[in-house]
Structure 1
Amino acid sequence: RFSANNILGTEDNCLTLNVYAPMNIDRKLPVMVYIHGGGFRDGSGSPFIYGPEYLIEREVILVTLNYRLEVMGFLCLGIKEAPGNVGLKDQLEALKWVKTNIEAFGGDPTSITLFGESAGSASVMYHILSPMSAGLFHRAIMQSGSAMSPWSFQFEPVSTASALASQLGYNTTDPYELYNIFINTPAKKLLSARVPRARGDVVLSENIFVPCAEKKIDGSDQFLNDTPYNLLRLRKYTKLPVIVGFNSAEGYMFVGKENDTTISNMNFIDSLPRDLSFPTMEEKKSVADTLNKMYMDNKKISKQNLVKFSRYPGESGITYPVVATVDLMLQSSERPVYAYQFRYSGWMNVVKQLYGFAGAPGATHADELFYLFKLKAKLFQSYLELDMKDKMTTMWTNFAKYGDPTPADTQLLPLKWPQTQKKTPRLLVIDKQFTTAPLWSEQTLLFWNETYSKYRRKS
């Protein structure tokens, strides 16, 4: 595992699990397996961030895990030595282990909920899409990430690998040559190499070693054999109860990672999602011009209007793909779908504060996590947020126990979270007061839907 500044661990011991159980329970408990985010580039299941205390006090077993990341986990060359998706296959092995062994820890192997955030959420969706994962879990929670997000699927994996090889001083597109280059490059040097993003593009485009559709290879199972959109559209996935949602201001975190230079270069035509394909430059420019008008009123992007601009990467990279995922699931599954928007702005919105948006409204990417997990850093503010912590952990663990986040009206949760309906889809708005709102609540989301209906990349 590694972060932007530090490469930690070794490839040989990257697949590790943490199992947390409450004390003195004399019955089998529901199991919640969490997959961490980080754009398939970084992160870990460390208890420093994902402390188990809040969840296990609700009488569930919690499992967190690590898996191979970046080029180590998502090199996809279409050959037996590097078929692709080994990071997802690490997760698959973890799920198999949980199914086989969790009873020894007090867990119920017939009641497993898989959940994750960001790339972890996209990973959950990949397991729903893959026949290899069928039967290993029974419910799913997807927070702020979809396999249909433009940053979570690579369409030209050999070109991506070739671009990385060029940063190491090699010029080839031959899969076997690329494999030999990478296998003979020390891990730290390999993970330190970076393919520079295009001038004017957004930070999400840096997530390039991500899942792919695998070629059919004799003697190997395909974890994924088509694009996520096609599999969902064709109903080729495991139907099960799901919670799917996003945060109200996803983009603060992404624009908060930008610097003066990247902000000054930012523009709409160069930052269009990579899963769009335009037959002419005229059509591409027309879409970019419309987005510029909708998001910025044609004003220049600057540090002074980043809150305004943040809606663009947030909605294109997270919100629209999540809403589109909900929509496709409603069309193709009879199992319950519970959709949400997390809008709450409190003392434990740690990410919003970290990236300089403490005074801005709403919740940014990953802000909900600290109402579910206990951050090991001692923050006195957590004592001011016990109510939201109790609400979030109760809904999430209720779903793991009963398949329903609000099975009964209580003083803590007096508003029933309704299933999202196909005809007039609505979601739960999680804020100081819980309310409901239309799933397609923004004109910009409708424009994204129209754009993807015309220009979605097929393969």
Structure 2
Amino acid sequence: MKCGKRIVLFTLFAMNLVDQPAPEVTIEQGILSGKISADGSFFEYVGIPYATTNSSTRFKAPLPAPKWKGVFKAINGFYQCPQNTPFGVVGTEDCLKINVYVPALAKRPLPVMAYIHGGAFIVGDGGKTIVGPDFLVKRDVILVSFNYRLGALGFLCLGIKEAPGNAGLKDQVAALRWIQKNIAAFGGDPDNVTIFGTSAGGTSVSLLVASDATNGLFKRAIVHSGSSLANWAINYDPVSVASKIVSSLGYDVKEPEKLYELYSKLSYRDLVLANTHIPITHLMRYHVLQLPCVEKTFPGIESVLSDLPYNLLTKKPKNIPLMYSSTDREGLFFINEETEETFDQSNNGTFFGQDLFFESKNEANELARKVKEFYFGLEQISEKTIMKLSDLYTHLYFEVPAILEAEKMARSIDAPVYSYYFTYHGGRNFVKVATTKYPNEIGACHGDDLLYTFTSWIWLFRINEKDRIMVDRLTTMLTNFAKYGNPTPNDIPVKWVPHSKNQLNFLYVGDELKMGSTPNPDAYQLWKDIYNKYRKTTVD
């Protein structure tokens, strides 16, 4: 009897060491198999090619998804698009893979949540390093995540048909079309897809909401710490940026056709490494990132952005439920690389992006003086006032653009528009703890809400009881929104009120949940007035 028990226990132990196959699924491309999660609660189908790309399709929309014979083993999720990491350049150009995580026992058809990863459009992936599915799939939704091309490979925009721009966004559109075609085979409901993303992923979601190319591809959208109205969302001078980037490699090229010829010949490793000597925060500040752009129109080439997002959201906004969020200390991430040199540049320059237009340099300088006085009084920008600089970055880059977009949509559509403000300081605020010099600052840094939504291979610490409550609350509200379009139908201890056309309402997500008014109202009004007067609504 004891021997039999030992055999059973050993068998159960051994089963946990070997991936158990998930049910086979037949999609348009062929048959694929996945694996069962370690705890048996969900099925994983990872590393599925949803489109293809190679050096011949650089800077263009991806090619169709490949087909196969036999059974494709969808068990390898370690794919990345080319990018720089602490371990060097990783990834391959043919990187367009999608991951599908399906609750094993939930009743079909299931709501679908499609996540777009962040990383300033130059790093990141849809794999389990950050985007672990466990918290969400236990709420009876299917989670889908995917890669898209980054950096020059995804966002070189030269205004010519060979490099029209937004290849990375076109990858995202291809992934959403793949979901529409295939998710029913996994038990998902193609008519109930919610897209969501963080940082550059959140801005991508906002851009996809604005785009005509995505009509019918999703039912709801959640924008975390991003906005298509942010001053870093759009490249207003993409040819100049492309020229500056290769100048660091020793090339003096300015014409679009010659730039295309050069970019086509450079290895993806060279393209990735061109800007790695500059911190991401400085790439954003000084406008040397290759970002989404407004595309020129070419016969037979589908564009994702035919106009500035502000104009698209004004002319024909999608009438779908929307949710926006930001954290209260976003800027902590962006003051890490400040030096005496950057302090001097800030004291002698402006913080304005290319999305503002001034009649004269004097006008811009006078407004910059008022902004500095608002945040710093009569003090200089220095290490002494660095937390005030953090506040400026918080408001300018994330908080105010998200509020302005939510306000604009609430006044334009009939569907509900929700906003929350994440202030929670807990044991899973990994960005603040692991990547900034300010781990003990109270509040939530940029990206600190991620690990209250996802499990992660880079943060394997035990979850304490307080953090578990936050995980449960946040994932319940997000999945409720994906299921019903209402984040608090009945099982959260507060009624989350959406914005009205005349009143902004925010759910404050901290140690407690509570409704409140606009955060930092004076800063909101400062930047709102600036953008109302100086926002650029045309692109050369």
TM-score by length of structure 1 reads: 0.94
Could you tell me which of 123, 126, 140 is aligned with 2:207? 126
- 1:441, CA displacement in angstroms? 3.9
Could you tell me which of 168, 172, 179 is aligned with 2:249? 168
Task: Tell me the secondary structure at the aligned position of residue 449 of structure 2.
Answer: helix
1:331 aligns with 2:405: no
For 1:427, the equivalent position in structure 2 comes to 506
Could you tell me which of 36, 42, 51 is aligned with 2:117? 36
Please tell me whether the aligned partners of residues 407 and 499 of structure 2 are also in contact (alpha carbons under 8 angstroms).
no
1: distance between equivalents of 2:284 and 2:303? 30
Aligned residues: 453
For 1:392, the equivalent position in structure 2 comes to 474
2: distance between equivalents of 1:40 and 1:431? 29
Matches within 5 A, 1:56-455: 56-194=137-275, 203-205=284-286, 208-234=289-315, 236-259=316-339, 261-263=341-343, 265-267=345-347, 269-354=349-434, 355-376=436-457, 377-408=459-490, 410=491, 413-439=492-518, 441-455=520-534
- 1:451, CA displacement in angstroms? 1.0
For 2:133, the equivalent position in structure 1 comes to 52
Code of the residue aligned with 1:249 in structure 2: it is R
- 1:448, CA displacement in angstroms? 0.8
2: distance between equivalents of 1:274 and 1:201? 15
1: distance between equivalents of 2:110 and 2:276? 45
Please tell me whether the aligned partners of residues 283 and 289 of structure 2 are also in contact (alpha carbons under 8 angstroms).
no
Task: Tell me the secondary structure at the aligned position of residue 210 of structure 1.
Answer: coil
Please tell me whether the aligned partners of residues 119 and 145 of structure 1 are also in contact (alpha carbons under 8 angstroms).
yes
**Cα deviation per residue 1:3-62 (whole Å; 9 max; x = unaligned)?**
4543211112x2111111122234221100000011111111120211110001111100
When structure 1 is superposed on structure 2, of 138-147 and 252-261 the one drifting more is 252-261
- 1:266, CA displacement in angstroms? 3.1
2: distance between equivalents of 1:390 and 1:349? 16
Task: Tell me the secondary structure at the aligned position of residue 385 of structure 2.
Answer: helix
For 2:43, the equivalent position in structure 1 comes to none
2: distance between equivalents of 1:298 and 1:291? 11
- 1:437, CA displacement in angstroms? 2.1
Please tell me whether the aligned partners of residues 322 and 417 of structure 2 are also in contact (alpha carbons under 8 angstroms).
yes
Q: 1:274 to 1:298 in 2, by over 3 A?
A: farther
2: distance between equivalents of 1:433 and 1:418? 16
**Cα deviation per residue 1:49-84 (whole Å; 9 max; x = unaligned)?**
111100011111001111001111001111111111
2: distance between equivalents of 1:252 and 1:224? 31
- 1:383, CA displacement in angstroms? 5.0
Please tell me whether the aligned partners of residues 251 and 312 of structure 1 are also in contact (alpha carbons under 8 angstroms).
yes
When structure 1 is superposed on structure 2, of 256-265 and 179-188 the one drifting more is 256-265
Please tell me whether the aligned partners of residues 40 and 207 of structure 1 are also in contact (alpha carbons under 8 angstroms).
no
Code of the residue aligned with 1:33 in structure 2: it is A
For 2:46, the equivalent position in structure 1 comes to none
Higher relative contact order (CA 8 A, sep 6+): 1
Q: 1:260 to 1:381 in 2, by over 3 A?
A: farther
- 1:311, CA displacement in angstroms? 0.7
For 2:91, the equivalent position in structure 1 comes to 9
**Cα deviation per residue 1:362-390 (whole Å; 9 max; x = unaligned)?**
21111111100012232135554100000
Please tell me whether the aligned partners of residues 110 and 187 of structure 2 are also in contact (alpha carbons under 8 angstroms).
yes
**Cα deviation per residue 1:280-313 (whole Å; 9 max; x = unaligned)?**
2221111111111111123222234322210111
Structure 1 residue ranges without an equivalent (≥5): none
2: distance between equivalents of 1:265 and 1:441? 26
Q: What's the % identity of the aligned pairs?
A: 38
1: distance between equivalents of 2:233 and 2:524? 19
TM-score by length of structure 2 reads: 0.80
When structure 1 is superposed on structure 2, of 112-121 and 101-110 the one drifting more is 101-110
- 1:95, CA displacement in angstroms? 0.6
Structure 2 residue ranges without an equivalent (≥5): 1-80
